[in-house]
Each structure stands twice: as C-alpha cells, then as structure tokens.
Amino acid sequence: MKAMLLAAGRGERMRPLTDSLPKPLIPVGGRTLIAWHLLALARAGVHEVVINLSWLAAQLRDALGDGSAFGVSIAWSDEGPVPLETGGGIFRALPLLGPAPFLVVNADIWTDIDFGALALEPDAHAHLVLIPNPPHHPRGDFGLEGDRVVARDTDRFTYTGVGVYRPEFFEGCSAGRFPLLPLLNRAIGAGRARGELHRGRWCDVGTAERLASLSASVGALE
C-alpha cells in the first residue's frame, strides 16, 4: 500500500509560527510532525509516500529530500501557490498513488495509530479511523454502527485525518479545489464507508496550547 501525507495547508490557526515554517515541520519530541509519520510508515512496511505541497513548499522538500533518511521514497505533488483543499489535493495526486487502495494521513497530527494494521474492506470505498471526541471537538463528525460509518446528529466520533481510500471514492471529480467532506457523505450514503475506533493517542496540533501539551507528553516518552 502507498500512503499520502497531506502537507499543503497554510496552518492559519498556528500563526505567526507558520508564517515562516510549514506546519508539518513543527518539532515535537525531538523530531518534526511529518518525520514521526514517515518513520511510522516505514515501520509499518509502507515505503512509497506521496506528499502534497503548497505553502513554503521548498522548506519541506529541503527538509525531507527523497525520503531515504526515513526509510521511504517520497514523490511530491506540488499544488502551486493555492492549496487544493483535502479532496482536490488527493485527487490531483491519484496518478502518483496508483490503482490500489492507499492510506491518507494529515501531516499536522500526532498519533500512535498502527498504520500497518489498517485495511480497506472489499465493498468499501473508504475506511476511517475515528476517536472519542476531544475537548476541542465535542460534537464529533460521524457515527459508528459496528464497522459501518453513519451520518447522525448525536453519539458521534471525531475523524482523525487517517483513512484508507480506494481511487473509486473520487469517481466523477474534476481537477481543482474541493473539500473531502461531500465525498465522505456520498460514500456514507451509499453504504461504502467503514471505520474503526482508536482509543490510543492522537492530537490535532491546532493551537499553541495543544502543541505545548503534546510536546511535554511526547518528551516524557522519549
């Protein structure tokens, strides 16, 4: 399986830090956020990685190179000066990802999810990793009934930004900027979205306070 790390965003909530540093290059526990992912992918046996670029793209290229220092091979999907949002970014990278199911990971999270244990069910177009709702996202995103992801207004969980997708998930899409959520809702409505609940560690590094808390907790593990 190949993987895609989403790294093109501006990191607006983390300004002014991200005015001069791509969010995936923020250091946590002695290495950058994106380096944690690359090393975890290599340990999981995922060695072909696509990374999308936009904001401060040259810094990411310089920092990661061809990926060999992390045990992976990196292919770059450069979106130009305006990022294409999650849906548009993945769609643009499909030729690099190939015809088989692929893993997608938001580069600006930190987690202990076992990437090597994730798989896509034969009849599904997406398999999402969900978590119990963190304090900053109390309403969650989606419900779970067994392994089926469902749309409902209560008793929901939060999408981690980690999922496995089939290229058919993007059927009918056109190049350009578009979000992922409408496609997720389409897959859920068609009964083609599966999921699982992760009860381990996960952090969306969206504020300076969460970054400080994560840095302290990860540092204690090192």
With 50 as the cut, is the pLDDT of residue 222 above it? no
**E strand or H helix that includes residue 150:** strand 148-150
19 confidence band (pLDDT: 50, 70, 90): confident
The answer to whether the beta carbons of residues 163 and 126 sit under 8 Å apart is yes
Q: Where are the domains of the chain?
A: 2-221
Arithmetic mean of pLDDT, 15-39: 90
> 61: buried, middle or exposed (CB in 10 Å: 19+, 13-18, 0-12)?
middle
Arithmetic mean of pLDDT, 39-64: 96
Q: CA-CA distance, 143 to 153, in Å (whole number)?
A: 8
Single-letter amino acid, residue 22: P
The answer to whether the beta carbons of residues 127 and 197 sit under 8 Å apart is no
- Identify the CA nearest to 172 among candidates 102, 91, 53: 91
The answer to whether the beta carbons of residues 7 and 52 sit under 8 Å apart is yes
Which CATH homologous superfamily contains domain 2-221?
Answer: Spore Coat Polysaccharide Biosynthesis Protein SpsA; Chain A (3.90.550.10)
208 confidence band (pLDDT: 50, 70, 90): confident
Other beta carbons within 10 Å of 186: 16
Q: What is the pLDDT of residues 75-108, one digit of tens each?
A: 999 999 999 999 999 999 999 999 999 999 999 9
Q: CA-CA distance, 42 to 185, in Å (whole number)?
A: 31
pTM of this structure: 0.94
Q: CA-CA distance, 219 to 213, in Å (whole number)?
A: 10
Q: CA-CA distance, 167 to 50, in Å (whole number)?
A: 14
